[in-house]
Each structure stands twice: as C-alpha cells, then as structure tokens.
Structure 1
Amino acid sequence: MGESAVGGAAPLVTDPFDAVPGLAPLRAAAWDGDWAATRAFYEEIPATDAEGVSCAAALLAGVDRSEWYLEKAAKAEPADPLPRTLLAERYIHLGWRARGRGRAEDVSWDQAELFHDWLRKAERLLIEVCAEQPAYVPAWTARLATARGLVLGQSEARRRYDRLTEHHPHHFRAQSRLLKQLCPKWGGSWEAAHRFAQECASAAPEGSHAGVLVAEAHIEHFSDLDGAEATEYLRDVSVRDELRLAARASVLHPDHRRDWYWTESHSTFALAFSLGGHLGDAAGHFAALGDTVSESYWQNVPDWKTRFTEFRTAASATL
C-alpha cells in the first residue's frame, strides 16, 4: 500500500501492485488463496514472455502466507512447472527475509540455518522442474537466487545462467540476479560485475531495461565503500557518464515501453544519480516516478522515504 506522507508531501506509493494496476488481479488472487484465478492471470501472459512470468512470480512471492495455497496447487498439479516455480520463489523470499539484509558477518547462526532451509526447499522443487522441462526459463531464473544463497559458487551460477540464455538471452531479472552473484561479497569481483553489466546493456535491444544493470552495479559498489571513498565514488564523472549512457539507452530511450519493471528501473537510476549529486540527471527519473517508488535499493538508505522526497524536490528545482 502507499506509505504515510512525509513532511506534508503526498504519500509515497511503494507497493508494486498499487504502482501497476494490471498486477492487481494477481494480488487479489493471492489474498483469496485462489489458484484458479492465479493460473488465469499467468495464462494471460504470452507464452514467449518468460520475463513477465518471472517478474510476476517475484512479486507474488512477497504476498504474505501465499505459500499455503501454492503448496496445495503444487500437490494438485505435480506435472505443471508453474505452481512449483511460484512456490519456490515464495520459499526464496521467505529465506532471504529470514536472513535479513545485513552483511554475512552480521547474520546469526539461527538466521543462516533458517535461510538455508528455505532455499533448500526451493532448490528441490526447481531441480525437478528443470529436469522435466529444461527450457522453462522462470525456474532457471529462480535457481540463480538459490545458487547465490546456498553459496554454490560462481561457476555453478554461470552454468545456470548459460542454460537460461539458451532460450532467453536478454532476461533482465536473471541478469540482475547474476550481477549480485558477481559482486565481491558473493565471491566475485567489481571488475566482473561491471563488465557483466556493460555487456548486457550493450547487447540488449535499445529501450530495454538492461541499462539498469549498470546503475545496479554502481550502487552495489558504492554500498561496499565507506566514508569519503563512498561519497566520491558516485560523484566521479566517469561513473556519471556511464549512468547517463545507460539511462539513455534504456528507460529514457524512445523505444522504451512502460511495463511491470518501470518503477524499479526509474527508482534505481534516480537513486544512483542522487547519491552522486547529479540531480539534473535524476530529475527525469523522479518526474517519471511521481509519488511512486520501488524500495528495492532505496531501502538501504537511512530514513529513505525522507531522503527520497528531499532528493526529488532538489532534482525538480533543476528543471
């Protein structure tokens, strides 16, 4: 739902189901525990749109207690990959929620055990689905999250991603998940993470979301730094120029079409430019967002709702 107003401003809309009206039937089906309505929603997604299925699966995973009816559906339709994949995404969500957003050294033993228990449950379902239907891209996308959480390593994550790209070479959610795996905190390097983001952005059709990966990589890098080093990182002109090029080739490109990812993409660029002090560049993204924002990266900023409105006001003044 929309959040309460900050400093007299209009309430921020942070719930993706509220930001994208077309998703409302999926949330209603989940609230009602209605598998038939859930299936009907997914049947409306074109068979070629594996990215749409993965996006909706990740959003459904965030609906409280949805595992109850998804478990029943998976048992009732054991040969269908959809209910098992949706259930696995829900287990993945529960696992990461149990772990928390802190660094590995701040995660307690109990948190880590519960985290891995949920991910192992998800992985068992996904192994079955991928064995039965190796071209089912949403399951491979989910398995990138389990590979990272279960610490299966860079090569295994790459193997899964390569299997996915045999069928869908520009799958944004899969690319975003592999990008996180390529960061140093999960055994990768900044060189590998930035190179992957640039490769995806360069290879993707203009107007796609792939350019957002460049912003994600820079935010991840910034978050790994401290003090003045962090402050100066996003202020660097070369970083700013990379962000500009990526935004122009993706969400600011004339061929870009608003879809279920739109809030997340503009929110990510708005954050990267704002933290770097490039408010003129952030302005267009804030204008597109209005009172809508994705929490995805913003929630890592202390008192982020206040900071969002402050940055938005400052950016608007540059127009």
Structure 2
Amino acid sequence: MSSTTSGTTTGSPGPTFDPYDNTPELIPLRTAAQAGDWPAVRAFAARLDSADKISAVSSVLAEIPGVETFLERAVAELPGDPLPRTLLAERYVHIGWDIRSGARAQNVSQDQFAQFHSWLRRAEQLLIDVCAEQPAYTPAWTVRLTTARGLQLGQAEARRRYDRLAAHHPHHYRAQTQLLQQLCPKWGGTWEAAHGFARECATAAPDGSTSAALVAVAHIEHWLDLDSPEDTAYLRGLPVRDDLRFAAQVSVLHPGYRPDWYSVGAHSVFAFAFSVGGHHADAARHFAFLGDRATEFPWQYAGDPKGSFLKFRKLATQA
C-alpha cells in the first residue's frame, strides 16, 4: 500500500517495507489498535470513502498482535455490525496462517494444519453470518477468498465467492489478488486460468485502474514456479515484456491513474518483474514513483530484498 505522493531517495539508506512508513495516514489506526481503543478504530474506518480502504485497514490490523482481544469485545457489544466481525475474522486468519507458515504443504505438519484450519473455521463462521446479513459487504467477501483457499474449498467455490463480491465491486484489487493466488497451480489451479484471470481483470477495468497490475503478479508467480535457468528466460522473453508494458500503460502509468493505498504494491510488482527480466529502462518509471518505498511482496522473493531493490533501482536509473 502507499501514500498518495511519490517517494524520494534523498539521503536515505534504502527502501522501507513498513506499510506505516509508506502510508502515514494509517499511523493513527495503528496507535488506536495497539491501545485497544475500539471507538477510535471504528471512527477511523467510518471516515474512509471506499471498500478498498476498509479492506486495506483489515489487512494491516490483522498483523498487530493482540488486537483480537478488543475486537472480540466489540463483536460481543455490536452483534449487528459487520466491521468488527470482519476485522476479527481477518485477525483469526492471520493467526492461523502464521501457525501454518508460508511453506509448501508437504513441509507443514499435521498439527500445524489442524490449528490452521481451526482458526480459519472460526473466521469463516463470522464471515458467513456477515455475508448472509449484508451480501454487498465487500471486505467480508475478500477475507472469505482467503479462507476458501486455506480450507481447500476448491476453485469453483473460490470463484463463486469472487463473483458475489464482483457483482457489487467489480474492480476490487485486493480481492482480485486473492483469487489470483487460488488460480495458480500451487493452490490447484493452472497457469492458463491464472493468466486468463489477470488479463480479464486488466481489460475489464477502466484505464487508470490498479487492476492491470495483476498481470505482473501472475508473471511473477509463474517465474517463481520455474527452475533455473528457465525462470530467468521466462521474464526476459519479449512476449512477457510486452504483456507487462501493456499492463503498466493501462494502469499505474496511465495519465488517469490516481495513486492510492495500493500504489506502492502495484509499482513494486512492475519494478520487480521488469528488473528480474533485465528490462531496466521499463522499470525506471516504477522506481521513480517508489523512491525509498516498497512492499514485502514481491521483494521477499529476491533473497535479499533491500539489496536487490537497491541494485535494480541503480540499474534502472542508469538504463
């Protein structure tokens, strides 16, 4: 996620991956959450003007240890309010995923899976009720895409959930990134489905929408799945380069694009994909926007995220 202005490289040792550095508007939310101040968290959310921002808030709150304590109280006190239940559900998902870890399934123990699924089922029960009561509540459907994946409910169920969400909010970038993960082979999908969905989102969205960044995400995921040297050859290929160029031009580089809380992530995936593919001149405009900001995804795939960012940024400025 990002703030709404471009970054600067002046006097800085390198990129920050902290969402609160990149989006200072979120700092009061973190302060309130760490203090267990539900009224302040609720007031912060009430001032937001889009479902995209509520989903962003849900994501960052879920990473703050201990917030489940005051969120559980809020759920008990406000049984008809979808916000505390959605925030609590995403926190439960985060707790469960921490236990599971990011390892491939064959490297996760039976006990880890049992605890993981237990937390996700708790989240799912909260979300089922929210979606039944308020079927247009996009943030809850977004989290249900994650629970569908973690509980291995399958491609058809994940797509059903996304379609329910998209009926009310057709270009919700965070939801799109969640379904894209489901469509990758590692979660039972295919590359044809993953790339097809990314292109579908890119072409359906208005010019200047973040959605076309999904094209870059899909190519990065495909690159990750390949062995060396095939992986490097994949991103170096001209068809992939041209696909990335088109996606960037209709999204974050379009004259009508307006930076938002997802912009640092979107520019990060383009900068990364172009850089790993050796297309440094194409990466330059994305690094110019980023300055000293970046998101953990996809830079954690570089081994040394900070060092790789600095190396690639230097190559881009010299291209």
User: Is the pair's TM-score, using the shorter chain for normalization, greater than 0.5?
Assistant: yes
User: Match of 1:227, SS?
Assistant: coil
Asked if 1:27 corresponds to 2:11, the answer is no
Matched, 1:193 2:194: yes
Give the alignment of 1:266-277 within 5 angstroms.
266-277=267-278
**Aligned mates of 2:274, 2:99 — CA distance in 1:** 31
The match for 2:236 is 235
Query: Which residue, out of 22, 40, 43, partners 2:43?
Result: 40
Greater RCO between the two (CA within 8 Å, min separation 6)? 2
**What's the CA shift for 1:9?**
5.8
**Aligned residue identity for 1:37:** A
1:99-121 CA-partner distances (Å, limit 9, x unpaired): 22221112222222222121111
For structure 2, the residue ranges without an aligned partner over 5 or more in a row are: 1-10
In the aligned structure 2, how far is the partner of 1:17 from the partner of 1:250? 24
The separation in 2 between residues aligned to 1:130 and 1:217, in whole angstroms, is 28
Q: How many residues align?
A: 309
Q: Supply the distance in 2 between the matched residues of 1:263 and 1:228 (Cα, whole angstroms).
A: 29
Cα displacement string for residues 53-101 of structure 1 (whole angstroms, at most 9, x for unaligned residues): 1121111111222112111111111110000000111111122222222
Task: Give the % identical residues.
Answer: 59
Which position in structure 2 is the counterpart of 1:16? 19
RMSD (Å) for aligned C-alpha atoms: 1.2
Per the alignment, residue 142 of structure 2 pairs with 141
Residue 257 (structure 1) aligns with: 258
Equivalents in 2 of 1:309, 1:112: separation in Å? Answer: 37
Separation in 1, partners of 2:194, 2:32: 37
Distance verdict in 2 for CA 1:52–1:151, change over 3 Å: same
Between stretches 12-21 and 237-246, larger displacement belongs to 12-21
Is 2:14–2:306's contact at 8 Å kept on the other side of the alignment?
Answer: no
1:71 corresponds in structure 2 to 72
Q: Which amino acid aligns with 1:247?
A: A
TM-score (norm 1): 0.94
CA separation in 2, counterparts of 1:274 and 1:113? 39
Aligned to 1:156: 157
Q: TM-score, normalised by structure 2?
A: 0.94
| Mapping of residues 1-319 of structure 1, within 5 Å | 10-46=13-49, 49-318=50-319
Cα distance in 2, alignment partners of residues 295 and 70 from structure 1: 26
**DSSP-derived class of the 2:210 partner:** coil
* Amino acid corresponding to residue 214 of structure 1 in structure 2: V
Q: Secondary structure at the match of 1:200?
A: helix
